């Protein structure tokens, strides 16, 4: 994503020195990336077995080969994402990083930074600081993954999670919630990759830490 705006009257801040992303964060980022790829590709194969829209995903971009294999990959990715995500949240809250990095965020701030981005006026000099659009996007994807996990539990163990199933509108509605949450996650990843291509230093920082 993009960094904070620099005003025309103020010179851009010098490039940040030192560690941008701590080691534990970098490791968890790549584990999450692997888990998401596994879950999305296997999830597409599971969807193809019983589609509820008038399309299916090309077999070449699915994982598992058949429904049983796709389910095994999906469960493996689910537990990896759940365990890694839970630890990620715990460390972010415990170290204070969650509130330091992602708050405050406001509609006015998001609109201002989005407008600056669309006019090419956002600076990328200090990767340690997130602009308001980034903050909102990262908070959104955390919530989206929680929705994916909860709706996935209903699809996995519908009888055992009967209360959760009813809260999500029943099994079939939970399937659609799960599908659209997946689609939003894929959209986030796509935008994220575009931003990385525009600011390659962000990828280096996520590998080396600085």
pLDDT in tens, 70-120: 999 999 999 999 999 999 999 999 999 999 999 989 999 899 888 887 777
Res. 129 pLDDT band, cuts 50 70 90? confident
* Cα R_g (the chain), whole angstroms: 19
Q: Which residue's structure tokens are 């689910």? A: 78
The residues, any chain, with a CB within 8 Å of residue 202's CB and separated by 6 or more, are: 1, 127, 195, 196
Task: State whether 94 and 180 are in the same domain.
Answer: no
Find the range with the poorest average confidence among 44-48, 140-144, 177-181, 195-199: 195-199
Task: State whether 131 and 50 are in the same domain.
Answer: no
Return d(Cα 55, Cα 173) in angstroms, integer. 18
In a domain, 79, yes or no: yes
Return d(Cα 77, Cα 172) in angstroms, integer. 22
Task: State whether 64 and 111 are in the same domain.
Answer: no
pLDDT of the residue at 9: 43
Q: Which residue's structure tokens are 């949450």? A: 181
In a domain, 8, yes or no: no
pLDDT of the residue at 13: 40
Find the range with the poorest average confidence among 27-31, 65-69, 86-90, 112-116: 112-116
Q: Which residue's structure tokens are 């340690």? A: 128
Task: State whether 178 and 196 are in the same domain.
Answer: yes
DSSP 105: -
pLDDT of the residue at 124: 66
* Domain extent for 46: 20-103
Return d(Cα 42, Cα 121) in angstroms, integer. 40
DSSP 158: T
pLDDT of the residue at 19: 83
- HSE of 143 in the Cβ direction (CA atoms, 13 Å)? 6
pLDDT of the residue at 184: 96
User: Which helix or strand (DSSP H or E) is residue 208 part of?
Assistant: helix 201-208
Q: Give me the mean pLDDT over the 51-56 stretch.
A: 94
Give the global pTM: 0.83
In a domain, 9, yes or no: no
Res. 14 pLDDT band, cuts 50 70 90? very low
Domain count, the chain: 2
Structure token pair of residue 174? 């939970």
Task: State whether 95 and 111 are in the same domain.
Answer: no
pLDDT of the residue at 67: 92
pLDDT in tens, 137-173: 999 999 999 999 999 999 999 999 999 999 999 999 9
Return d(Cα 27, Cα 41) in angstroms, integer. 22
Task: State whether 161 and 89 are in the same domain.
Answer: no
Return d(Cα 91, Cα 105) in angstroms, integer. 21
Output the DSSP codes for 4-65: -B--TTSPPPPPP-S-SS-HHHHHHHHHHHHHHHHHHHHHHHHHHHS-SSS----GGG-SSS
């Amino acid at each position: 994503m993009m960094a904070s705006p620099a005003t025309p009257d103020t010179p851009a801040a010098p490039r940040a020195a030192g560690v941008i992303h701590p080691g534990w964060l970098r490791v968890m980022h790549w584990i999450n990336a692997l888990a998401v790829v596994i879950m999305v590709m296997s999830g597409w194969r599971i969807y193809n077995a019983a589609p509820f829209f008038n399309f299916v995903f090309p077999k070449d971009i699915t994982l598992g080969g058949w429904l049983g294999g796709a389910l095994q990959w999906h469960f493996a990715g689910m537990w990896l994402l759940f365990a890694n995500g839970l630890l990620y949240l715990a460390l972010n809250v415990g170290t204070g990083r969650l509130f330091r990095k992602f708050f405050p965020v406001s509609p006015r701030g998001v609109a201002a930074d989005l407008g600056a981005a669309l006019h090419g006026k956002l600076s990328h000099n200090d990767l340690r600081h997130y602009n308001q659009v980034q903050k909102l996007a990262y908070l959104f994807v955390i919530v989206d993954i929680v929705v994916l996990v909860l709706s996935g539990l209903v699809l996995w163990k519908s009888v055992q999670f009967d209360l959760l199933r009813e809260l999500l509108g029943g099994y079939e509605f939970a399937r659609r919630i799960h599908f659209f949450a997946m689609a939003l996650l894929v959209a986030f990843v796509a935008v994220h990759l575009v931003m990385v291509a525009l600011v390659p230093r962000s990828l280096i920082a996520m590998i080396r830490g600085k």
